[in-house]
Amino acid sequence: MPTQQEVVESPRSTRDRRACILRRGDYFFIFSDNIPTFCRMSECYFKLAFLLFKYNDKNILMAKLTNKPELLSPVQDFTSLTAAIENGADAVFFGIKGFNMRAGAKNFTVSDLHKIAKTAHKSNVKTYLAINTIIFENELKEVEKILIKVKKAKIDAIICWDFAIIQIAKKLKIEIHISTQASIANSETAEFYQKLGATRVVLARECSLEQIKEIKKNTNVEIEIFIHGAMCVSVSGRCFMSQFLYGKSANRGECLQPCRRKYIIKQIDGGAELELGENYVLSPKDLCTIDFIEKIIDVGVNCLKIEGRNRSPEYVATVTKAYRTIIDFIYSAKVRDDKFKQELKNLKNKLFEDLNTVYHRGSSSGFFLGKPINEWTKDPESQATQKKVYIGKVSNYYKKIGAIETTIQTNNTIRIGDTLIIQGPTTGSIKEKIISIEKNHLPTKMAKKGEKIAFGIKSLVRQNDQIYLIK
């Protein structure tokens, strides 16, 4: 990329032309007789957004560097890993048993590291291992052994904040991303961690868009932010409620989420009681930024992160696909005119409906647009508009004719027109609508528990994949 006031040649098609390019920060001013060619070059070669204007009767192209942000998805097993990859994730983050902030998730083991890296890298997807808990003295040797295996497995980076892990990773030359647990909320702190060897920092969730913009402007370190998923009532998740009540520390990934429950407030003098349940005053709604994602993109952060390592493969698939779709739509637009704004609005409405079909506790803009006021969930359980129920496994799959055989194992009836989710480590999470059912080689409109059936399918699935009915 050209630097300050550098003369460069244009692409091969116009090699006989020359242009002067002046750079100021993220902006480029291009002086050339062949501006249309440079417009194409800006889009295809440099990924620049451009604005054409005249000065002293000369064409000038003003371009701004707008690299598409990385979309980072959560995974907890190989089914959700495949679901993230198939639905457009640029990178995935995950934990292994023992040292991550989601001890309750399925999590991978150290022996899975090579397979994770191989599976993801085959699709040009990066892999980040979260080792973001507090580390005690007696765990240092074990952590170092794990990081040596991380290096050998070619995992792309680790997410951490304990200084011991930073030091070990630096010694092993493993890329370091600083966890949101570090509560980074200003450029000085970001620069501090960069000097320690970090290439990226995950900002505190308490930052507004304006604050993120200022941090981005004043530091060269990569910036990552959460755009979707659960939020904690405590600052960057550093809560002691679970530890105090049950001896399960949130800072060790063991949080039992007592904040999500009903409580009774009892008056000491008088004996009056109030039950808090209509609004769960310690249980925030989930973050959802689909409605203003273009504002986040315009800030220019490097990575957009989805929370949810404890959630289902269909959650990973649906949320990843929604943000992949809208990010690509925004970047495909040549201009943001009235037509674009209307199409974007329609797309947001559709994607919001899709997001509501999977696990969530209501939707909040978090701190991005200002401090959230009264953004408490009214129900601690999922408010998803759909739920899945298990019906059986794929006993046979006939690829040539695109058909599945299964035996319905639960008290559920399936009918033509129903939607199924099929999940497996290699399949990921796919949705299929039933258009035909056969029982004993004869067509039928429905089937119930104990019946062996076959039905057509468009997607590629595998034997022993699990089948769920969507209700």
The answer to whether the CB of 401 falls within 8 A of the CB of 417 is no
Cα–Cα distance, 257 to 283 (Å, whole number): 9
The answer to whether the CB of 223 falls within 8 A of the CB of 230 is no
pLDDT at residue 276, rounded to an integer: 65
Burial call 362-398: b when 16+ CB within 10 Å, e when fewer: bbbbbbbeeebeebbbeebebbbeeebeebbbbeebe
Dihedral angle computed from the Cα positions of residues 66, 67, 68 and 72, in that order, rounded to the nearest 10 degrees: -130
Two structure tokens written together for 219: 């530091």
Two structure tokens written together for 120: 């993801």
The answer to whether the CB of 105 falls within 8 A of the CB of 338 is no
Identify the residue whose tokens are 């070669």.
45
Two structure tokens written together for 63: 């371009």
Q: Which domains does the chain have, with CATH numbers?
A: 6-65 (no CATH), 70-364 (3.20.20.380), 388-470 (2.40.30.10)
pLDDT at residue 225, rounded to an integer: 97
Burial call 180-219: b when 16+ CB within 10 Å, e when fewer: bbbbbbbbebbbbbbeebbebbbbbbebebebbbebbeeb
In this structure, what DSSP letter does residue 67 have?
P
Identify the residue whose tokens are 């739920």.
387
pTM, entire model:
0.80
In this structure, what DSSP letter does residue 312 have?
-
Cα–Cα distance, 263 to 277 (Å, whole number): 7
2-5, long-range: CB < 8 A, 24+ apart: 2/28
Burial call 68-100: b when 16+ CB within 10 Å, e when fewer: ebbbbbbbbbbbbbbbbbbbbbbbbbbbbebbb
- Residue by residue, DSSP assigns 94-151 as E-BTTSSS-TTS--B-GGGHHHHHHHHHHTT-EEEEE--S---GGGHHHHHHHHHHHH
**What is the CA 276 to chain-centroid distance, rounded?**
32
Low-confidence ranges of the chain (pLDDT < 70): 1-66, 100-106, 233-246, 249-261, 274-282, 373-374, 379-380
Cα–Cα distance, 295 to 169 (Å, whole number): 34
Task: Tell me how many degrees the CA angle 288-223-97 measures, rounded to the nearest 5.
Answer: 75
pLDDT at residue 37, rounded to an integer: 46
Two structure tokens written together for 232: 């904690």
- Residue by residue, DSSP assigns 82-96 as HHHHHTT-SEEEE-B
Q: Of 471, 455, 431, 402, which Cα lies nearest the Cα of 313? A: 431
Beta-strand runs (E) in 236-316:
263-266, 273-276, 286-288, 303-306
Residue 307: how many other CB atoms lie within 10 Å: 23
